[in-house]
Chains A and B, each alone.
Chain A
Amino acid sequence: DAKTTQPNSMESNEEEPVHLPCNHSTISGTDYIHWYRQLPSQGPEYVIHGLTSNVNNRMASLAIAEDRKSSTLILHRATLRDAAVYYCILIKGNAGGTSYGKLTFGQGTILTVHP
């Protein structure tokens, strides 16, 4: 299985943008890039996912490098509520587009947001 590499921790100030990087140099053509986050004392929650093109939703944006060997999760204006562990996860898809489903979590990036 392709692995992901993330920084152990990052810090940000409230209302500033945050760019969380993820390296996945051994990604295969059918791997989807998913991001989940886990707030303190809660289960993980889905943030965003993509395959090749950049993606936006109400929570964040996902920028995927042209060679797909890296991606960046962008929080446009960090809030104190965004303080969490962020996980970048690759999920295998198939030719039909169905993703395999099992999530393989790494250590993630601990994001600290300062008021």
Chain B
Amino acid sequence: DTGVSQDPRHKITKRGQNVTFRCDPISEHNRLYWYRQTLGQGPEFLTYFQNEAQLEKSRLLSDRFSAERPKGSFSTLEIQRTEQGDSAMYLCASSLQLTGATEGKQYFGPGTRLTVL
């Protein structure tokens, strides 16, 4: 179990640029989540995948945000035309959700800290 990894760990970009983050979940996990966390606040849900299907998107996920999970493995989160308000920690989590199982505990990665200048 190598845990959830995220790349890059830090990203500094200028307003208006596009950025892409990658998340590699724990290998057998079928669910993958993206959250965003600003300073002093708890993480906020953005979207989640069950295998390769994106099942829910938060209202926080504007048209400038897009997430993919091709082949149900790693996932990417892209932000187009970044704004200063996008500055935050972007967290990825994965879980193994079995039908009928009560556990769905999520394992979080270390996050990608985005700074938009």
Contact = CB atoms under 8 A, between A and B. Distances in A.
Interface of A: 32, 34, 36, 42-46, 49, 51, 85, 87, 91, 93, 96-108
Interface in B61-106: 91, 93, 95, 97-106
Listed from nearest, the 8 A-B pairs whose CB atoms lie closest are A105-B42, A43-B108, A46-B105, A99-B104, A97-B102, A101-B104, A105-B43, A96-B100
The interface centre, meaning the residue of A32, A85, A105 with most chain B CB atoms within 10 A of its CB, is A105
A87 B105 CA distance: 14
A102 B48 contact: yes
Given A101-B31, A101-B33, A44 B48 contact: no
A51 B43 CA distance: 23
| Chain A contact residues: helix, strand, loop or mixed | loop
Interface size class of B (residues with CB under 8 A): 20 to 34
Nearest to A110: B40
A101 B95 contact: yes
14 contacts: A45-B107, A51-B102, A85-B42, A91-B104, A97-B101, A99-B104, A101-B97, A103-B35, A103-B43, A105-B42, A105-B44, A106-B42, A107-B41, A108-B42
Contact of B102 (A42, A98, A106): A98
B96 to A, nearest CB: 11
A96 B41 contact: no
A43 B42 contact: no
B102 A44 contact: no
A14 B107 CA distance: 27
Interface string B45-57: 1001000000010
